[in-house]
A = this chain, B = another copy of it.
Amino acid sequence: MHMSFSGYNFIGGQRSALGDTLVYSVDAHTGERLPGAFHQASLDEVDNAVAAASAAFPAYRKLSAERRAQFLEAIADELDGLGEDFIAVTCQETALPSARIAGERARTSGQMRLFAQVLRRGDFYGARIDRALPARTPLPRPDLRQYRIGVGPVAVFGASNFPLAFSTAGGDTAAALAAGCPVVFKAHSGHMATAERVAEALLRAAERTGMPAGVFNMIFGGGVGEALVKHPGIQAVGFTGSLKGGRALCDMAAARAQPIPVFAEMSSINPVLVLPHALASRSAQLAKDLSASVVQGCGQFCTNPGLVLGIRSPAFSAFIEQLRGHMAEQAPQTMLNAGTLASYGKGIQALLAHPGVEKLSGLAQSGKQAQPQLFKADVSLLLEQDELLQEEVFGPCTVVVEVNDQAELLRAVNALHGQLTATLLADSDDLGAFGQLFDVLEVKVGRVLLNGYPTGVEVCDAMVHGGPYPATSDARGTSVGTLAIDRFLRPVCYQNVPDALLPEALRDANPLGIQRLVDGKPSNAALN
């Protein structure tokens, strides 16, 4: 690694290293410490970072949506401008292949540009105008106008598995900045050098577009997350990671003097249902594609298919054999870090130890790489709510479950906890008989897929990367796609306030040219 890293925290547009504790990034392949040390933020620095974000909030939130859009676009440009050496650093820290990192960078900058479009479109304002009805009886109606503003400084926790798209300048940061909320970002220990480069890019963009100092802050270190979430200045939290970690943040946030919302994307086993006609027509292809989805990115996707359900039949048995063949051919892969590998090992061990679970393929898990694994479990584990099958095993592993018939399939699906996704592999002849599945799946998940694989999560307006607990802590949010901005907005109403004092989004002339709900009807027009 030829680049140099200061390892200082980013606070209010300055670099800061008040604490004595140093933390280090490691080479994900070798586990060896990389040169350069990162300064764990002291409690004073956590305070300072939140203070900087709080100080930036009044100015930042009042900037026009156009100005914020320019900021996001400048971030995108800066990200795209990072050189090959940047990608090399990320590959070294995460063991992810460079093509994946290049693609993830494009996704990350594209995400910033998409939020810029949202800001210009203006629907995020949720503008609503009910004009005065002075002659109404028995009481006149005052003039009432509603729009949405940012909730305040947001704490964002970087995820390990997407060092760009769900990290420093990732989806939560983009959504918060778009909403007008300054960010205090807690860098993930798995890619601190990457985080430093991205934070520098972000600050260059902030400077170039004249953003207030403190619009973005980043702190390093273990244990600082708790102080961050408990800080009275923080008004919402974004997190992607484990159920245990996410739930701990939720509990802290709920116990504050002022409770705040936590949007944690946590744990999902993403059931895939293989239906009979699809099996009959294209079993081999399904087995091949499904195994590819299971091992994609070493299985380190939130939407990794961790459970495969089918109805007992010779065709399903043959499919399982095909799946076993493909899974057995998959090479071991280096995981993101030692902690992830250790968790994977524990998850595999728990499956091996369970009498209701049978191993179908996979070399014994040992050494420094993750061995792809295929298991088969008895449906009773689902029906009797055994926690084992409900728990995400983060890595290249999936569990097949055979059910006896369609009724048992419905019961098994009903027994599932909340999920990010559910996938039907089905032909049109299946859909008549199994149409009811959509109704059952809909209440369990954030996204229902037909004949696709859940591991691709498109960044667009219609995406939902969310779902009932424990997939996320709040099923009403999404952490991918433009609806993600809603998590960090709240409505405010103005009553009888003169036009000149109203925010532009609510003025009679509609200077922003946005669509508004006026007296109960959508309208792009100016008011008389």
Interface residues of A (CB under 8 A from B): 57-58, 61-62, 103, 117, 121, 123, 126, 128-130, 138-139, 141-142, 144-146, 149, 151-152, 250-251, 254-255, 258-259, 261, 418, 428, 431, 435, 438-439, 442-443, 445-452, 456, 458, 460-464, 466, 468-470, 473-476, 478, 481, 483, 489-498, 501, 515, 517, 520, 522
Beta-carbon contact of B491 and A476 below 8 Å: yes
CA distance A494 to B478 in the complex (A): 14
Query: Are A443 and B259 in contact (CB-based, < 8 A)?
Result: no
The minimal Cβ–Cβ distance linking A258 to chain B, given in whole angstroms, is: 4
- Complex formed: what's the CA distance from A501 to B438 in Å? 8
Q: B254 near A250 (CB under 8 angstroms)?
A: yes
Of all chain B residues, the one with the shortest Cβ separation from A461 is B128
Contact A146 B461 (CB under 8 A): yes
Bound state CA distance, A520 and B515, in angstroms?
13
B460 near A62 (CB under 8 angstroms)?
no
Cross-chain contact of A464 among B428, B492, B498, B522 (Cβ < 8 A)? B492
- CB-nearest residue of chain B to A258: B469
Docked CA distance A463–B452 (Å)? 42
What residue of chain B has the Cβ atom nearest to residue A491's Cβ? Answer: B464
Q: Which of B255, B445, B495 contacts A448 (CB 8 A)?
A: B495
Q: Is the CB of B462 within 8 A of A490?
A: no
Q: What separation, in Å, do the CA atoms of A403 and B515 have in the docked complex?
A: 41
A460 and B117 contacting across the interface, CB-CB below 8 Å? no
The 7 closest A-B pairs by CB, nearest first: A254-B254, A464-B493, A144-B462, A146-B462, A449-B495, A447-B493, A128-B462
Taking the closest CB of chain B, its distance from the CB of A154, in whole angstroms, is: 13
Counting chain B CB atoms within 10 Å of each CB, the highest count among A117, A435, A449 belongs to A449
Task: Check A129 against B462 for contact (C-beta < 8 Å).
Answer: yes
Distance in Å: Cβ of A433 to nearest Cβ of chain B: 12
Across-interface contacts of A142 in B (CB, < 8 A): 449, 452, 456, 458
Is A123's CB under 8 angstroms from B517's CB? yes
CA distance in complex: A431, B149 (Å): 22
Note all chain B residues with C-beta closer than 8 A to A62.
Answer: 439
Which residues on B sit within 8 Å (CB–CB) of A483? 126, 128, 146, 491
Of all chain B residues, the one with the shortest Cβ separation from A61 is: B443
Can you give 20 contacting A-B residue pairs, CB < 8 Å?
A: A62-B439, A103-B138, A123-B522, A128-B461, A128-B462, A130-B458, A130-B463, A142-B452, A142-B456, A151-B475, A250-B259, A254-B259, A431-B498, A447-B493, A448-B494, A449-B495, A461-B520, A466-B490, A475-B490, A483-B491
B463 touches A144 (CB 8 A): yes
Residues of chain B lying within 8 A (CB to CB) of residue A435: 501
Cross-chain contact B130 with A460 (CB below 8 angstroms): yes
Q: How far is the CA of A251 from the CA of B144 in the complex (A)?
A: 34
Q: Which residues of B contact A481 (CB under 8 A)?
A: 146
Our pick among B431, B489, B491 for the contact of A501 (Cβ within 8 Å) is B431
In the complex, the answer to whether B517 meets A144 with C-beta atoms within 8 Å is no
Supplied contacts A254-B259, A442-B492, 9 more A-B pairs, CB within 8 Å = A130-B462, A144-B458, A149-B442, A254-B255, A259-B469, A431-B498, A438-B497, A466-B490, A478-B491
**Which residues of chain B are within 8 angstroms of A450 by Cβ–Cβ distance?**
494-498, 501
| A466 surroundings in chain B (CB, below 8 A) | 490-491
**Alpha-carbon gap, A445 to B57, bound state (A):** 16
CA distance A496 to B456 in the complex (A): 13
Residues of chain B lying within 8 A (CB to CB) of residue A251: 254-255
Task: Identify the interface centre among A128, A255, A439, A492: most chain B CB within 10 Å of its CB.
Answer: A492
Contact partners of A497 in chain B: CB under 8 A:
438, 448-450
Q: Least Cβ distance of A406 to chain B in Å?
A: 17
